[in-house]
Structure 1
Amino acid sequence: MLVEGVDSLKVLTQQKQYGKIMLPLQAVMQVMQHFNSYMDIPQVKQLSDEVRQIHIELAQQITADFKQAFSGQNSKHFNQLTEGCLVLSMLDPKVKKDLLTWFVGIQLQEYAHLFDENQDFAWLDKIDRRYAWIKKHLLDFESKFGTIFPQDWEISERIAVQFCNVTREDLTKLMYKRRAEIDVKLLLFAIQRTSNFETLLAKRFTGTTLELSDMSEAKKPTNANEESNIAANTAEEEQSKTENEKPVISPFANLIGKCFEPYLYIYIESLDRNLADLMDKFISDCKTQPPGAKDFEGIEGPSSVLSSCADLFVFYKKCMLQCTQLSTGKIMLNLAETFQKYLREYALKILQNNLPKVGGSTGLGSSMSSITRDFRDLSTSGFIQNFQSFLKEGETTRFSKEEQARICCILTTAEYCLETTQQLEEKLREKTDKCYAEKINLSQEQDIFHNVISNCIQLLVQDLESACEPALTAMTKVQWSTLEVVGDQSSYVNTIVAHLRQTIPSIRDKLSSCRKYFTQLCVKFASSFIVKLVQQLYKCKPLNAVGAEQLLLDVHMLKTALLDLPSTDYQVQRKAPATYTKVVVKGIANAEMILKIVMAPIESHNDFVKQCRIRLPDLQVPEFQKILDMKGLKKTEQLQLMEQFKQLENSNTSLDTRNNTAQDSPEHEAGRIKRLEKLIKKRI
């Protein structure tokens, strides 16, 4: 069978009977496999060499036929070429590969000539003509020669892929030479047209030839161990991709477009300029628009977010969508850095700079350069401390309703910026390649918006305190030692309560969209107010029993007013948050205990000091001295009580030390272990 088959193949090869060669060739190749282990027999070796020679002759002969048909004008052998393709598919794959490389090359000869780098058509502004040429050429090719090649050879796709490779290389060289001529408009035009063309290819072709070439390059093991390692790594990569990566992208995506990536910095630079112009517009609008107008108005009702804030994030969204169409690689990291820069600028120049100045020119305004430095250095921890020192520098000047409304508006805007920045960070990471996504971090910008919110709350708290200070000062002017009867709450209490009822509902309404920050405001005010109340109580000296009782009544009324503070004049009565109630109850209890100690008679120095320690466990020597001053005691009696207080304090300290030492001793530890062992035995 083998001898007859080889003789038959020789004759058919000489006659170029490609249609009749296929079956005998396939049969001979199968039979030849049975003799692989008998190659040491001369006759078998000779037959094997003859078969190999027939393969070589067929390959050379069919390749020559193709070159004659397509290089010259001899088209009468095209039917024979179709049969020749089927024969080539059975031979060494390299023969087919070499033929296809040559054939695809001659298909793109005209393209290389028309779009040579010296031709006008070659530049980016006429990139459409490149894609129009290949579309027309593929249509002509398929109508004339589409039936010659087997479908699984994917000749049209191979031509298109090679066109993409050639175009990418040509554009890379050309753009490098003429990089000074590239502006953002031209770059985006070229990228958009290229992306449209790549999308068209993805719809028209399967990408099989691209996938096959990628696989052949990826798998080139030198030995069995390396092959198994590559297989294992590939399996792990595929698993991680399915778990972490985005949906599969078309193999044609960015096939040409990757040549534009080195020039995407032009897009980022343009974006930076546009954002700088946008920021200048926002600043200009703030200067020409007086406080209390347009965005800052709304003295009654909820505060709205500044329109400039919405404009900024809409612009960000458009930029992000556009950038993801260009690339999802390093450019997205550069985009995030640009976004960060202008988030910081917005927080400083639009929000922080528009907060009302405290105490005229001596407050926030005079220290703005320090804030600017804080923002630039991103030292957010020092930012709040500096801001609080600015507040202390200013005089106690009340804000107008317009200024109060402006602070609330900036607070709600900062909260919106904070939440949107968090979402922006998530979106940027989601749309960026994994290797760069982990580097995107907008936490510092979120901290800055947090600081703006804190500063707004601090300003509102200080404003509330400023209105209460005159009344607290008036409390210390009362002759508490001459009071003869306890009456209704004092006038200074009425003043404080009236101020809170007038101011709090307005602030609460404006901060209705961010209730948690209104709660923070109430907590901070209550904490600060109670501390100042206690400080002023110490100044009410000397006190008689009636005066102390009157002050106790006043403190109780202030406690009631503070507990009702979050829902003051609210249509629906809400229970104050537990955190706030705890702050008020604990703080006022301290003030009440001080007054109760002042009211208590001194029957025995030792008993009085012990009662003080029981009622105020954290009482220190300076505060105890102030309480004695409030009672109006003589200096000699004060000295005796102070001595008694210090002795009790020292004895308590030494007792605590002994207890701690005993608990830490080995004997104490051993006793604990024995008790634990007994307990375990009982349970078992």
Structure 2
Amino acid sequence: MSKNNNSPSTTPNFGSGSTATQQHHNNNLTGVEHIQFSEQVDKALEEVLPHKDPFDTSLFDPIVYINTNFPNEQALNEKLESYIIKVKKKIQRVDEDILAAVRKQSSAGVQARKDLEEARDTIQSLFKKIHEIKSKAEQSEQMVQNITKDIKSLDYGKRNLTVTITTLKRLHMLVSAVDKLTLYTQKKQYKQVAELMEAVNELLQSFEKYRNSIPKVQNLFSRFESVKKTLREQLFQDFKSLDAHKNSGRENVQQLLSEACLAVDSLGDAVRTELISQFVKSRALHVYDMTFREGKEESKLERIADRYKWLLKVLKTYQEQFGDIFPDYWCVPQEITIEFSLMTREAIVRMLQNGKDLSGKTLYSVILSTIKFERDMQERFYDPDEAEILVDIQQQKKLLEQEEKALKELSMKVEKGSPESDEILKKQIKITLKRRELEKQEQEFTKTSSLDSLLKGGAEGAIAAEKQKKKPKFKFNLIGFISSCFEEYMNVYIEYEEESMRETLAKIIQKETWDMNSEYSSSQDLFMYIVESMKSCSALSKKRTLFELVEKVFKKYLNNYADILMHKLPKIQSIAQPTTVATTGASTTSGTTASQGASSLMSRLGMGNILNTNEIVTTDKKAKLTEKEEMLVFYIINSADYCQQNIEMVEEELRETLQEPYCDQVDLSDEQGKFYLLLKSGVEVLVNNLMNVMEKQFTEMLSISWAHVDTVGDQSNHISVIMQTLKDAIPFLARFLPTTHFKFFCDNFILSFMSTLTSCIYKCKKFSPMGAQQMLYDVSCLTKFCLRELIIIGDPNRFDKDDVASFSKKVDIKAQKIECILRTILQPNDFLVGTYLQYAGSDHSVAELTKILELKDLQKNEKQQILENYQKEVKKRQQGSQQEQNNSTSSSSTTATSGTPGTTSLTIGTATKKMEQVVSSSMSFIKKFNLNN
């Protein structure tokens, strides 16, 4: 064991030693290799063998243990000797326990070997007994086989005799049944034939394997096939001769043929299908081709409804004449309808292929009649079974669960008590009521369902099975059976709708008065037409046709209407931007008149021959709007707002109406965005018009020689006029603009006004200190007493406090930029840079400071010196910011505290030596004991 670790200079400071140092001390103290188990193993050992002794824990640290027991030198001197005696006694007890355990284990080993020998002898004895039992069992089995050998032969003989007797009885029954079947067929006793046919089929199944090996059986099969052939021919002949008994003996014939249907059923599905098909073509629909022969007036496409009426008469005649003959589960009326639909579909396809001048109006009428016919027939014939009804209920419940989950997630994002929250609550209540209704229907249907009775035995089960057997098996879906043939020709309908909408839009624009006071609105009429057109088309198709109508017609004419409104919007030039027309999308080239622009627009929209260009002609660009033109701008803004909102509603309605996959492909966001652009352009026209009204006051401000102003007085005259102009104009604008768009107008006006004011300040060239002070006072009065309260001028309750505070904050931010310019001018050269950086904040630049210095009467070298000071100050602030960041990063790291050297190290070293001696003595004793044993 190395002694270097015990010297005071190398003893670690307790409480801050590293893991490696602690492990090294552990090894020195014990003198043996320290085994470190994993955390999971230590945890498992602690659960099995819980310990209280600190020496037993895997995290035992001798240094920490010594520091705990001897915190200082005084404690070491007073307690060390007594502690060592205590540890030695403990070690002695442990040694004694170990010795006793070893002796006990030695005696237990001897006893264990003795028990093992006894168990081995017992197993061998048991194995011998099992072998003897197995041998005796085999002997007993052989004895039983010898006893029952004769009995088995008798049993086989009895079984063969029983089979022979049964077979002979069945053969006799089969012969008798075939004879009776032949006789009943000749006498046309079809009810008895049907009953015997089922019995003969069942008997023949048991002789199927002897069909080709026994001549007698082969003969019976041949006779039966001959009887079936004769019966089939006789039945078909009886149904053909039905018309011969129209007057005399019809009741007897109906009774005969009604029983004949039972015989047809016994011959199999193929015979029944052939008979029904022959009846439908030769009896029910034999005059169809003659009635609607090509070239006749009734055969024209526009008279397709006559064919559907004709079928209703055929079905009525069938019910009167043949309803008592054919059973319901044969579904003869349904088969008549299917055959009629196939023939009508072929006729329609031929007419569509040959119809060169097919009009959209005719096509719409034909499709509407066809769809109505299909729905009527579907409702009349289609009878869903129990399983389909249950599946439909389950699907509805699943959809309700999905909708309820979506509403629950949405409610978590919406503030409680808000209108949106109330709306969600109403929808959740409706879903709950609907789910309860579905559950009630499901319970009632389950009680009356015949599916339960089918699972029961006895007479009840037989009756239910018979009902299921007799139930109509008609499962054709008549929806789209005929109307699907129109899909390839729906472009004609789309073209018809496009032409109709083009004419409608032209009429709407012709009727438009462009007057806010008029009750008529072209935008309302346009959307009424779109909604009606959408409803009409959805009655025909909720898939591709409706989707194409949206893509090719609705979108096109919404964009056309937006272009017309944009062209109608007056054009005005802003004093802030003298070379640009503010109305986006409404500008015309300098050489083109408004009339030429309108004519070009009408030609592009395809309305040149329908709409007079005077209806949408606009005046050329001008500086100010007349009152009538202002009202026109208000009207266009409100129309654009109406269209924007209704486009969203139409899109939602289309998503609910269209079927997969088209419902997710509807997107009218571009059209909505175009009307928003129109609305924005209208607001910009109003902003520029108001700015142009105040053009004279801005010109007056530029005419003042600010460099020679030597006193500061009350606010300037042009500022008073501007404030009065705004106080007169704002209530007028607020009266005709929707609240949200009025706020949008105010936001845009502040941007334009502050930009123009800043530009004018820079154009004033030079400012004296008093001139800058006067300008600062003017701006302060204008901001404080007018601009900050712009949105509530004329009506303090127009907006709530939060909206007013938010708007005032925007105004203050813009005003601060102007204040920065003027306060920088007022400062002496030494303080100018600091003042500029203070008011400019992070939005400062050399270019802006250079422009500000041009407003101050300075020499060139003074300007250069100020700019150099600015760059130095900016660099200095950047370095200071970087240094603060570095200090913040370094302060987050901490250093380990060190212990106190000196007497403590000496004390710990002494304690460590004595503890090592005690532990080494104990380990030597244990090793010696193990070697001796």
Is structure 2 residue 783 aligned with structure 1 residue 559?
yes
CA distance in 2, matches of 1:525, 1:48: 107
> In the TM superposition, what is the alpha-carbon distance from 1:449 to its structure 2 partner?
0.8
Within a 5 Å distance, the mapping from 1:470-489 to structure 2 comes to 470-489=696-715
Q: Does 1:2 align with 2:217?
A: no
Q: Which moved more, 1:585-594 or 1:92-101?
A: 92-101
Q: Give the conservation status (yes or no) of the 8 Å contact 1:305–1:410.
A: no
- Structure 1 stretch displaced more, 476-485 or 359-368: 359-368
Query: Aligned with 1:619: secondary structure?
Result: coil
Whole-Å separation in 2 of the counterparts to 1:611 and 1:458: 36
Please give the residue correspondences for 1:610-621 in structure 2 after superposition, counting only pairs within 5 Å: 610-617=834-841, 618-621=843-846
Q: Give the match for residue 354 of structure 1.
A: 568
Instruction: Identify the residue that residue 69 of structure 1 maps to in structure 2.
Output: 239
C-alpha spacing 1:31/1:586, structure 2 compared with 1 (3 Å): farther
1:267-319 deviations in whole A, cap 9, x for unaligned? Answer: 22222222222233344456xxxxxxx43244xxxxx7861111111111221
How far did 1:563 drift?
1.3
Q: Return closer, same or farther for 1:674/1:39 CA change in 2, 3 Å cut-off.
A: farther
Question: What does residue 264 of structure 2 align with?
Answer: 88
1:397 to 607, 623, 627: 623
Structure 2 CA distance for partners of 1:571 and 1:610, relative to 1, 3 Å: closer
Given candidates 463, 469, 478, the residue that maps to 2:689 is 463
- Render the CA deviation track for 1:338-387: whole Å, top value 9, x for unaligned: 111111111112x1111112259995553389999999999xxxxxxxxx
Moved more, 253-262 or 331-340: 253-262
1:43 CA drift (Å): 7.6
Where do 1:254-653 residues align within 5 Å?
Answer: 254-285=480-511, 294-298=513-517, 307-336=521-550, 337-349=552-564, 351-358=565-572, 364=586, 366-367=588-589, 397-511=623-737, 514-560=738-784, 561-570=786-795, 572=797, 574=799, 575=801, 576-577=803-804, 579-602=806-829, 605=830, 607-617=831-841, 618-652=843-877
Q: How does 1:237-252 map to 2 (within 5 A)?
A: 243=399, 251-252=477-478
Amino acid across the alignment from 1:437: C
- Match for residue 102 of structure 1? 278
What are structure 2's unaligned runs of at least 5 residues? 1-168, 246-251, 403-474, 606-619, 895-933
Aligned 1:169-248 pairs, distance under 5 A: 169-177=346-354, 179-206=355-382, 243=399
Classify 1:477/1:259 alpha carbon distance in 2 versus 1 (closer, same or farther; 3 Å): same
1:597 is aligned with what amino acid? T
Q: 1:582 to 1:396 in 2, by over 3 A?
A: farther
Distance change >3 Å, CA 646–CA 59, structure 1 → 2: farther
What's the offset of the Cα at 1:654? 6.7
Please give the alpha-carbon distance, in whole angstroms, between the structure 1 residues aligned to 2:395 and 2:798. Answer: 57
Q: Deviations over 1:393-419 (max 9, x none)?
A: x97711112111111110110111111
- Answer whether contact 1:480 1:540 (CA < 8 A) is retained: yes
Deviates more, 1:422-431 or 1:449-458: 422-431
Q: Which amino acid aligns with 2:569?
A: L
SS for the counterpart of 2:479 is coil
TM-superposed CA distance for 1:242, in Å, is: 7.6
Aligned identity (percent) is: 26
| Equivalent in the alignment of 1:116 | 293
Relative distance call for 1:22 and 1:43 in structure 2 (3 A) is farther
| 1:18 to partner: Cα distance | 2.5
Q: How many residues align?
A: 608
Distance 1:502 1:47, change over 3 A: farther
- 8 Å Cα contact 1:544/1:631 also seen in 2: yes
Name the amino acid aligned to 2:340.
Answer: F
Change (3 A) 1:541 1:327: closer
Three-state SS of the structure 1 residue aligned to 2:694 is helix
Residues 128 and 18 of structure 1, relative CA distance in 2, 3 Å threshold: same
Q: Is the 8 A contact 2:827 2:835 kept in 1?
A: no
Comparing 401-410 with 14-23, greater Cα deviation is found at: 14-23
Provide the C-alpha distance between the structure 2 equivalents of 1:540 and 1:48, rounded to a whole number of angstroms: 126
Distance in 2, matches of 1:439 and 1:169, equals: 33
Asked whether the 8 Å contact 2:178–2:200 carries over to 1, the reply is no
Once the two structures are TM-superposed, the CA of residue 650 in structure 1 deviates from its matched residue by 4.4
| C-alpha displacement of 1:446 | 1.3
Q: Structure 1 residues 181, 371: closer, same or farther in 2, change over 3 A?
A: closer
Query: In the superposition, relative to structure 1, how do residues 433 and 46 fare at CA in structure 2: closer, same or farther (>3 Å)?
Result: farther
Q: Given that residues 332 and 432 in structure 1 are in contact (C-alpha distance below 8 angstroms), is that contact kept between their aligned partners in structure 2?
A: yes
Q: Is the 8 A contact 2:304 2:366 kept in 1?
A: yes
Q: Which amino acid aligns with 1:344?
A: N
Quote how far apart the aligned CAs of 1:266 are: 2.2
Deviates more, 1:57-66 or 1:101-110: 57-66
Looking at structure 2, the residues matched to 59 and 672 of structure 1 have their Cα atoms a distance apart, in angstroms, of: 108
Relative contact order, higher structure (CA 8 A, sep 6+): 2
Please give the secondary structure, in 1, of the residue aligned with 2:661.
Answer: helix
Q: Tell me whether 1:11 sits opposite 2:173 in the alignment.
A: no
Aligned to 1:20: 192
Give how far 1:523 is off.
0.9
The Cα of 1:54 is off from its aligned counterpart by: 3.6
1:339 maps to amino acid: F
Report the residue type matching 2:191 in the other structure.
G
What is the CA distance between 1:455 and its match in structure 2?
Answer: 0.8
Distance in 2 separating the partners of 1:60 and 1:582:
103
Contact 1:408 1:510 in 2 (8 A): yes
Q: 1:89 to 1:594 in 2, by over 3 A?
A: same
Aligned equivalent of 2:337: 160
Conserved in 2, the CA contact under 8 Å of 1:157 and 1:207? no
Structure 2: which amino acid aligns with 1:532?
T
Distance 1:471 1:410 in 2: 30
Give 1:32-71 correspondences, 5 Å limit.
35=206, 39=209, 50=220, 54=224, 57-58=227-228, 61-62=231-232, 64-70=234-240
1:189-226 alpha-carbon deviations (Å, 9 max, x no partner): 33343344334424432367xx9xxx9xxxxxxxxxxx
CA contact (8 A) 2:367 2:483 kept: yes
Q: TM-score scaled by structure 1?
A: 0.78
Letter in 2 for 1:546: M
Question: Structure 1's 273 and 53: CA in aligned 2 closer, same or farther, altered over 3 A?
Answer: farther
Q: Per-residue deviation at 1:64?
A: 3.9
Q: Any unmatched runs of 5+ in structure 1?
A: 216-234, 287-293, 299-303, 379-393, 676-684
Report deviation, 1:587: 0.9
The alpha carbon displacement at 1:90 in A equals: 4.2
Amino acid in structure 1 at the alignment position of 2:555: Q
* Distance 1:306-1:42 versus aligned 2 partners, 3 A rule: same
SS across alignment from 1:486: coil
Distance 1:577 1:529 in 2: 18
Question: Following the alignment from structure 1 to structure 2, what is the Cα–Cα distance between the partners of residues 102 and 195?
Answer: 28
Shift of the alpha carbon at 1:6?
2.3
Question: 1:653-672 CA deviation, whole Å, 9 max, x = no partner?
Answer: 67778999x79xxxx99x79
